[in-house]
Structure formats: C-alpha cells, structure tokens
Structure 1
C-alpha cells in the first residue's frame, strides 16, 4: 500500500473524526468508529514536519532571499572620541599595510627576476633579448610562488605583446612591467600611511604631509631652500586638488591619485639627468615652481603677501579684462578682498590648461554671472563689452557684438541655441577659444588676426618674446627667508611622523627606464 501524503492523511483524519462525532450523537459510538490517539499523533507529527519543511528554503529560494536581505556592507568610521574603537581600527589598518608590505617584491627579488630573464631568453634581435611564451612560463616556475601573479596569467604576456611575427616579447619590457607594478604597490602603501581615517581618501593636509616628506627623496629638488618648502608643497598639492577635486570637497581618492599622470610627473624628479626643457614643462620641477612663485612676487606690488584686483590685472601680458578679474574675486576665496598664493595657483592652473574639463568648469562658473548654470546671451555681452572698451582704448578697430556672438554660438553649436553649457563647451572642442575671446584682449586679438598670423608667424614669435622678457630665476631669487603661503590655514610645513616617502626604491636599469615611465596604470590592470 502506497504511503499517504500529509493532505490525504489529514483528510482521512477529519472524516473519521466527523463520523465519530455523528455516531456519538446517535448513541452508537464504538471502538471502530472512534479516532485513535495514535492516528491523531501521526497527523500531528506530519503537520509539524510539513511546517518545518516550509521554513527550510530550497536553493532557488535561498538565492532569491539574498535580494531581500542585503548583508551589511558599510560601517561608519568610529567617532574620534571613541578611543577604543579608533585604536582597534588603527591597529587593524597598520597590520593590513604591514602584511601588504611583506608580500611586495624587494630589490633582491627584482634582481633575481632580471637574472632569470637574462638566462632564459631564447633569441635576440637588434641587441634586444627576447623570450617566447614557453620561456615566460618557465621563468615563472623557477622564480617561485612569490612571483606567481606576474607569470601565471597569459593575460600579462598578451598585454605586453607587440605584434612580433614570432610571438616573442622583449625581456626589458616584461621587467619594466614588473618594476612598474611594484612601484605602484609601494606608492599605494605609502599613500595609505597618510590616510588618517582609513577611508581611501586623503585630505588636503594629509597630502601636504606626503609631499613634504617626499621632497628629500627627489634629487631634482636638492637645491631648494628650506624656506621655500611650504611654497613648493602648496604648488604641488594644488595641481592634484585642482584636477582631482573640481567640486572643492577638500579630499581626493587615493585611487584617483594613482590613476592620474601627475604622480609620474612628480616622481620624474628622481631622475637627476632631466634636461632644461623637461624641467620647464614639469609643473613640479624646481625651476617651474620658482617661476610661478616669482611671478606671484612680481605681481605683489605692495609686498603684503596677497594680491589685489589691480595687482592681478598685471598677470601674463596684462590684457585680462577688468570685468573678468572682478568675477575672479567674486567667486574665488579671498581674504579681505585679496587673493592668497593658494588661490593664485588655482587661477594659474586654469589659465594654463584652458582645454581641460576642470579648467572649463572653473571658467563657466566665472562667466555665469547670473548663476543660471550656463552662459547665456547676457553673459556673453557682459564680458565682451569690456573687450570692446579695451579695443577702443588701444586704438583697434571696433568689432560688433552680434558678429562675435554669432561666431561663438557657431563654434559651440549648443544643444539649446540660447545658452551654452559646460557640456556644450566640452563637446565642441573649442571651449578654450571661447574663453579667450571673452576674458583676454590678447586672446581676442590673436583670434581676430589668426589668418594674418598664419601667413606671417614672425608676428606671433615677437609677441612670445615680449612675454618672456622677465628672467624667471631672477624673480625666484627674491623668495624671502622663512616666508609664508598667505592665509591658507594649516599649511604644508607642519611636523609629521616618519612614514617614509612612499615612492618606492628607484632601480638603475637604464634599458627599461623609458618603457617604465611610459606605462600607464591602465596597461597594468
């Protein structure tokens, strides 16, 4: 006889109980019609088992339930007054960093890898030693488990492969890749030491401390006077924060610092053989930092360490429009109506990088005089009428507003024909030209005479020579002893603990140094 289901057993029990009740009422109840205690116990046991089965989810039900009950994935940082939790958090972070440090390759490990690559190469072409994939795997096996992440994945080989007809890879490129990965790990750990809250972001004062302790490790900065350190730190930090924190939150992600090119540019100063041209193009080099600060001192006519509107009017060729300078002081942080060095650095970074999205964001905020979130016809007229006054003062032929307005809107081709947004300027690729037309008489003149200048470039060369008349180093030599960086709060000169430079050990492997520098973070992911 087949085993009855719970439903069948329950139905039988109910029917038997009903029959027993009817028979009892008629006076003919007997043992055969009564519901036995054993039968009732069986039904009760089966009912309890069914209920238990209902509460035991199947695999599908368990998977679906995860969408209804999301596990906790965020824990708020403990309050600074909670000394015990803060101490536990700091200790956990320190041990995590210590463990990562032990897992990193050392200089001796890198020497071992280089020796293996030198021994295992299978061919040579144009004095470049090459390995194939079999050699690549063999090196990984001989190197050991510590190097497994660099040699076990075919993706590493595929990323570095450069269309060699025989499927080979230069050993110098592979070694440069390993060096670059190790350097990034070292730098990541070094930056995390300054992450005071352990949240993956650095506050401005945290990054200032990092740069300050990095200075002694950069040979190109050996000639800097101690009194200039705070100015250099301010200059370096402002570039990172201007581009990585355009919304001015006062913090940047460590991951963003690692991903941008600025850290490479900064650590390029480890090379004591940089040419004068390379130093001139490097924002973080001593000559460039001294030049920017020298210009600041030259503009500060009353020598009070701050810049007034009239003093900022002398920036560059002295052709900025007064209305634009007024807007700079309206929107940027000032102290009793004057600009400090930190604000000046933001201004310089915007002026020198007008094509960049962060700079265009800076300028749109200034040109949006009505705080509408875009540049309208009134804003264009508001700034161009000042350019017209300057043209008239210099005896230049007048240009009609309608012509300039049509030219600007034709260049930008905004989605809305009556307003220009930041997205419109970024999309059109002519945002820097539009900005120059509205804020700078020289920029307007260069645009108006672009065809003539293209036919006779000597006129433009003469203009550039006039701009470079002031000797940068002579200006920089006037850096005062024990100077300060205007009114900028904590500053970069505070005392910090000995966290190390975080930049990693440099390797004197000349054949791979160029490839090492050219590799981006995206190449290493």
Structure 2
C-alpha cells in the first residue's frame, strides 16, 4: 500500500487526541464523584442575571481542532507540490539561453523578439528537460498579455523578465505560507521578519551580498516598514500583531518587491530600466539613499531629527507643510504615555537615589525630544513622499492638508498652502506671469468634485491627480516641475531616443 495522504494522517491524529481527552475527562469525573457532596442550590436573583453570559458570546477555542489539522495539512501539501515548480538559477539560465536561440531580430529597432510558434517549440523542449513544472509559463494567455510588434512577436527580454518575476512571487508566497503556524492565513510580525531574513540569506532579489554586509539589518527594517504602513491599521505596531497573507500578496509593496531583478536578470537592466529599479523602495540603492539621508540630517546622532534638520531634506518644502507634518504624524514621546511617574522599587538609600537620578535624566531627555521625528516616523514620511501616487500616501498627506480635520479641502486651505509655495517661486524666478488665484482655480478644475468648493480624498483618487496636488501645495520644486511639465516631457523623450 502507498503512503497515506496528509488528510488521513490528520484525521487519525485528531481521533487519537479526542479519545485521550475523553478518557481524561471520564477519569477526572469519576474521581470527583467519589465522596462528593451535593452542591447547595443556587440563589436566583439580580446578581445571577447580571452574571449570565449573553447568548451571542462565543468563547475562543484554545485547543487544537480538526479544522486546524486539515488546514495545516493542506498548506503543507500545497507548499510541497509548489516547490517543484520553482526554477533555480541554473534553470533560469537555461531558459534564457534557449530563448536567445529562438529569438529573431527586428529589422528597424534591432530588438530581439520571439513568436508564439517559437515559444511553443521551446516549451516542448523544456518539458523534456525540466518536466511539466514550466507549463504555466507558456500558456496562450501569458503570451497575449504582452504587447506584440507588427509581425506578432513579443520582446524576448520582457518575456524572460516575466518568468523570473513570476518565479520570485511563488518563492516568497511559499515562504509566507510556511510561517503560518495555525492555518489561519495570518502571519505574525516575527514571521514576516523571518521571511525577509530568508530573502536576504538566499539572495533572492538582487546580486548584492547583504547577508555579509552591515547594511542587512537596516535594509530589512526599511523594507518591513513599507509593508507595515500598508497593512497595519494603527500607527503603533506591536510584536503580537498579525497580518493577512492574502492581503500581503495583493498589496502594492509585494508587487514592487517582486519587480526587482533576480541574480539572472541583472544583465538586462541598463539605462531607463536601471533608473526604474533604483527608484524602487526595496532596491539596495533606494534603501541606502533613505538611510543615508536620515544620518545626514541627524547632526547629533541621537536617533531623532528636529524641524530645522528636517527642512534640509527637501529645501523647497514650505514651513507650513513641515509644521503640519510634525503636528499630525510625529508620534514619538507621547506626553500621555510618559512612564517617568512610576513609583521606583524599594531599594537601599544609595540604590534608590541612583534610580531616581536615572529616571530624572530619562524624563529630561524625553521632554527635550518631544516634537522630534524618530526614525520610524521618518520612514513613514519617506514611504509616502517617494510614492505620492499611492492611495496610502494620499491618506497620509490629506490629513496634513486638511487644516480643520473636516474631511475635505476648501479654497481657504488650498490658498494657505500654496501661498508659501508661490512666495518661494517668486524669489527664484524673476520673470513670470503666474497669478496665485489662477493656480488655485486650476487645482479645483483638475479635481472633479462631487460638491463644488469641497475636495474630498475620494475626489482626488477618482481624478488621479494626488501626486500633482501634493507637489504643488508642499514644495517649490514640485510646483516648478508642474509649471514646466511640457519641457520636462520633451527632454525625457529626447533621452529615450
């Protein structure tokens, strides 16, 4: 007979545990019945009614159930079977070599492309070499998802890039599922950190020896913070918090993480594509830039930056915008969470005086750092600032722009923020014919408001102008880019050519 399936083993284990628990309860009941006296009758009254548990109350199940065993067994079987579909570095190099052989060259652009007939012939050869695990890479729907040239071919580089990214997504997905300890589809913060540790140790995303470098811890913290900002419902994240694996796989950070090149893809990223990779939050270049900027701002190396230091991050940022950032999103050293008033333990007189002195110094340091931005607050700002088109970023900046916390922006609030931007613009541009009122009206024109004179967050998202809106109202350089957008677009087209 063959090996029993996982669900059968789980069922046997569950039945054995159930019999053991039933026997233990019967034994305990028999022991308690010997010599037991009849319990006095319960007194019915007001207290008894107040103590009753409501009928809608469902106690949390703490013991292992059969459903849990089945879910864990199913996850185990899925991870085991899916591991056979993962391509190693050698496999990817073999796929690329075969793709190069069947590729044709476009006579005009000199780009390499492959036709569907060539892909089918390549798939048959790979099936004989590597087995059926490659079948989902060569389906007609995968081929039709790419833009085709006049002869019906698709870019060889783009096709191979998609295979590598799909392979990377599967790897990380299996890592997340392997850290689901109870079959609930959730992963703890500790489990998510372990996933990133494995990503770094196995060098899944880029050809950089992070595992041997001192930047590994900083990169992992920067990468994790973006996931936390998108998945957490509160500003303060606790180690016991858990996140949905399905939400992680569907999130924007996961898509950006899997867009990074693997070891086999680095040879393709040059020019504009390399710039796109460097701007990715999870790339080594971006993480080093974010981390180095904080170190440069923190002049006294105490782990916090003041408003004056923060203004040096973006010289074109206005004072009112900085004040609102610190007022709304700096959560460090909450005055209501001060623990300096706790009663010190009863110690000897000498030891007690040293403890009191230490607490006094901590309290003084805490008061001096109130209103300063911590590293976590800085990372949250950078997550929003570097990707203003993200809805999560708009939520961050909308609370800054909404001066009265009304849930919408008015002409007065738009005028208040743009006035400082316009003053800086006049200081740096001697010749201009821009009127502040015209720009304010232009902002309202580009946003399709449901209620005239009131811009809600939904209006901005529907109009897809969140990046432009934040740039114009917060930063002089951002407004300059908006005012010279046609010239900049022309320059980008010339560089691509």
Q: Distance in 1 between matches of 2:392 and 2:123?
A: 45
Q: Distance in 2 between matches of 1:222 and 1:139?
A: 34
Aligned residue for 2:319? Answer: 322
User: Once the 2 structures are TM-superposed, how far is the Cα of residue 255 of structure 1 from its aligned partner?
Assistant: 2.6
Instruction: Answer yes or no: is 1:212 the counterpart of 2:197.
Output: yes
**Aligned ranges 1:380-395 → 2 under 5 Å:** 380-387=414-421
- Greater Rg over alpha carbons, structure: 1
* Alignment equivalent of 1:405, drawn from 403, 421, 440: 440
Instruction: Answer yes or no: is 1:346 the counterpart of 2:380.
Output: yes
Q: Distance in 2 between matches of 1:222 and 1:418?
A: 54
| Partner secondary structure for residue 265 of structure 1 | coil
| Partner secondary structure for residue 320 of structure 1 | coil
* Alignment equivalent of 2:467, drawn from 407, 419, 432: 432
| Partner secondary structure for residue 406 of structure 2 | coil
Q: Distance in 2 between matches of 1:225 and 1:141?
A: 37
* Alignment equivalent of 2:176, drawn from 191, 211, 224: 191
Instruction: Answer yes or no: is 1:261 the counterpart of 2:255.
Output: yes
* Alignment equivalent of 1:370, drawn from 378, 400, 404: 404
1:321·1:439 contact (CA, 8 Å) conserved in 2? yes
TM-score (norm 1): 0.55
Aligned residue for 2:389? Answer: 355
Spell out, residue by residue over 1:142-179, the C-alpha distance to the aligned partner (whole angstroms, 9 max, x if none).
Answer: 689845954997656766795786x8999999887766
TM-score (norm 2): 0.58
* Alignment equivalent of 2:449, drawn from 414, 419, 426: 414
Q: Distance in 2 between matches of 1:229 and 1:203?
A: 21
Spell out, residue by residue over 1:465-514, the C-alpha distance to the aligned partner (whole angstroms, 9 max, x if none).
Answer: xxxxxxxxxxxxxxxxxxxxxxxxxxxxxxxxxxxxxxxxxxxxxxxxxx
Spell out, residue by residue over 1:331-361, the C-alpha distance to the aligned partner (whole angstroms, 9 max, x if none).
Answer: 2242122222222122123222233433223
Instruction: Answer yes or no: is 1:334 the counterpart of 2:331.
Output: yes
Q: Distance in 2 between matches of 1:152 and 1:290?
A: 37
Q: Distance in 2 between matches of 1:394 and 1:109?
A: 56
Of the structure 1 ranges 145-154 and 414-423, higher mean CA displacement relative to structure 2 is found in 145-154
Q: Distance in 1 between matches of 2:402 and 2:330?
A: 17
User: Once the 2 structures are TM-superposed, how far is the Cα of residue 233 of structure 1 from its aligned partner?
Assistant: 0.9
Instruction: Answer yes or no: is 1:309 the counterpart of 2:303.
Output: no
Aligned residue for 2:85? Answer: 104
Aligned residue for 1:228? Answer: 215
Q: Distance in 2 between matches of 1:174 and 1:392?
A: 49
| Partner secondary structure for residue 258 of structure 2 | helix
Q: Distance in 2 between matches of 1:264 and 1:324?
A: 33
Spell out, residue by residue over 1:435-478, the C-alpha distance to the aligned partner (whole angstroms, 9 max, x if none).
Answer: 22322233345556x49x959x99xxxxxxxxxxxxxxxxxxxx
Of the structure 1 ranges 297-306 and 376-385, higher mean CA displacement relative to structure 2 is found in 376-385
User: Once the 2 structures are TM-superposed, how far is the Cα of residue 310 of structure 1 from its aligned partner?
Assistant: 2.5
User: Once the 2 structures are TM-superposed, how far is the Cα of residue 422 of structure 1 from its aligned partner?
Assistant: 2.2
Unpaired runs of 5+ residues, structure 1, are 1-76, 459-525
CA RMSD of superposed structures (Å)? 5.1
Gap change, CA 1:380 and 1:182, over 3 Å in 2: closer
Q: Distance in 2 between matches of 1:225 and 1:213?
A: 13
| Partner secondary structure for residue 302 of structure 2 | coil
